[in-house]
Amino acid sequence: MKTIIEPFKIKTVEPIRFTTRRERERVLTDAGYNLFNIHAEEVLIDLLTDSGTAALSAQQWAGIMEGDEAYAGSRSFYRFEQTVREITGFRHIIPTHQGRAAEKILFTITGGEGRIVPNNTHFDTTRANVEMSGAEAVDLPISEGTLPSAPGDFKGNMDLEALESLLRQKERRHIPLCMLTVTNNANGGQPVSMENIRRTSELCHAYGIPLFLDACRFAENAYFIKLREPGYSRRRTREIAREMFSYVDGCTMSAKKDGLVNIGGFLAVNEDDLAQKARSILVVTEGFPTYGGLAGHDLEAIAQGLEEVLDEHYLRYRIRSVNYVGEKLNQIGVPIFQPPGGHAIYLDAKAFLPHIPPHEYPGHALACELYLHGGIRSCEIGSVMFGKTDPETGAFQPAKLELVRLAIPRRVYTQSHMDYVVECVGEVFEKRDTLKGMRIVSEPPVLRHFTARFEPL
Ligand code: F0G
């Protein structure tokens, strides 16, 4: 059979609320035209993030009832530890309440003034944790990785030449570790090839520098390797994932993505000394090493989720369903970051709204109109998020890309929900010439996209 179907049936449903355009206009005006400020109940289809938004399986809910809530040595921790160890092969598995908590611990130990952490592209919390330690976060994506319309199977790859030149220039003590984000969320959700992981590892290790994976979407990345990289089509995704982890010295993980849960994460490392330091911080900031900021039942849900995420029927459906949205948008000429990523479609707002200049925030204007037109919530990843205005001169520095991310929660929406999304984007595309830019009315000093208020021009 050619039709790829959802590999599950639905046991529990959650209603979504229909509103009129007039109601949404009021909601958006009250929210200062900021989609982070609106109540989720006012959203019909929520594509703000794929993080913590997955639907749990019956086995996960059953596991939650089995959760052992012992403070120390909980049975659920040992199940979690064993599952993570089987999948990753790492010696020390340290639970945290989510990905950024693992990052905070890792960079508290390894970061600091004068140090540099290279990455294919840092996600914003990873960058913030590196910078908060005093270190510098350097992004080294391959050049086609930053071009929305360029073709490529592995546009998430690290630029190895740029990495080598950095490693050659700096002393080893200045680079505590190097990271690879799989898939590369900040660059269109594009995967990293096994060859690139292996060669990054060889290069780092030749200079005595440990390599870590930011492994949030490791299963989606592994499945892309199976689909696209020569020599992997007959390998099980689980083995591919294991090979990915075999080249690195540790990982940070947000289980809110490929752990198929609503909360959770971990830090995993091989080195004993690093693990000991991490556990010391963990006890102070997260909790005892056998729960690390999570309930026993959360650990059960993660252990089960990590098994389910590597199921090939699931991954085939997952990657296909995101690709389906991309294909339909391509057919009607909507410009998107090519090819479709693993967890999201990124609309290219610069090409979608060429008449709106970056300082009038085309991505934000598009995200607002998708909400007004069809009740869809998306997320601007452009000059609202990354652009800067000099407070003294008023000079505006735009972001490199003006994207709108349609992140697809795991196992939550059906194909007809996605058909609706495509229709909504298509109708907004038809009337794109009528869209106007936006102006910032007030903004906080940092991470302005979360709380800034806007006005249409
Ligand atoms: N690394 C990557 C690549 C991420 O995408 C995220 C979260 C994190 C780390 C941090 O994990 O949220 O569990 O603390 N990304 C979400 C998103 C928020 O919407 O892309 P966390």
- pLDDT digits over 129-176, tens only? 999 999 999 999 999 999 999 999 999 999 999 999 999 999 999 999
Q: Whose CA is nearest to atom 19 of ligand 1?
A: 49
Q: What is the mean pLDDT of the chain?
A: 96
Alpha-carbon distance of 108 to 264, in angstroms, equals 20
Which of 51, 184, 343, 381 for a ligand 1 pocket mutation test, highest count of atoms within 8 Å of Cβ? 51
Mean pLDDT of the 36-51 span: 97
pLDDT digits (tens, 9 = 90+) for 254-292: 999 999 999 999 999 999 999 999 999 999 999 999 999
- Say if residues 380 and 438 touch (Cβ distance below 8 Å): no
Mean pLDDT of the 398-418 span: 96
Q: Is the CB of 264 under 6 A from ligand 1?
A: no
Mean pLDDT of the 234-247 span: 98
Which of 46, 100, 263, 345 for a ligand 1 pocket mutation test, highest count of atoms within 8 Å of Cβ? 100
Q: How confident is the model at residue 50 (pLDDT cuts 50, 70, 90)?
A: very high
Of all residues in the chain, the percent with pLDDT exceeding 90 is 95
pLDDT digits (tens, 9 = 90+) for 74-86: 999 999 999 999 9
pLDDT digits (tens, 9 = 90+) for 5-35: 999 999 999 999 999 999 999 999 999 999 9
Mean pLDDT of the 394-404 span: 91
| Strands 116-119 vs 136-139: parallel, antiparallel or unpaired | parallel
Which of 53, 97, 125 for a ligand 1 pocket mutation test, highest count of atoms within 8 Å of Cβ? 125
Q: Whose CA is nearest to atom 15 of ligand 1?
A: 51
pLDDT for 389 = 79
pLDDT for 52 = 98
pLDDT for 446 = 77
Mean pLDDT of the 428-437 span: 98
pLDDT reading at 394 higher than 90: no
pLDDT reading at 449 higher than 80: yes
- pTM higher than 0.95 for the full model? yes
pLDDT reading at 342 higher than 90: yes
Ligand 1 atom with the shortest distance to the CA of 50: 19
Q: Is the CB of 328 under 6 A from ligand 1?
A: no
Ligand 1 centre distance from Cα of residue 93 (Å): 19
Closest by CA to 217, choosing from 239, 175, 189, is: 189
pLDDT for 113 = 97
Mean pLDDT of the 400-410 span: 96
Ligand 1 atom with the shortest distance to the CA of 255: 13
Alpha-carbon distance of 97 to 110, in angstroms, equals 20
- Say if residues 252 and 103 touch (Cβ distance below 8 Å): yes
pLDDT reading at 453 higher than 90: yes
pLDDT for 221 = 98
Mean pLDDT of the 208-234 span: 98
Q: What are phi and psi of 282, to 5 degrees?
A: -55, -45
Ligand 1 atom with the shortest distance to the CA of 49: 19
Ligand 1 centre distance from Cα of residue 342 (Å): 14
Q: How far apart are the first and last CA of the chain?
A: 51
For the record, the structure tokens of 35 come out as 């989609």
Ligand 1 centre distance from Cα of residue 267 (Å): 14
pLDDT for 386 = 87
pLDDT reading at 392 higher than 90: no
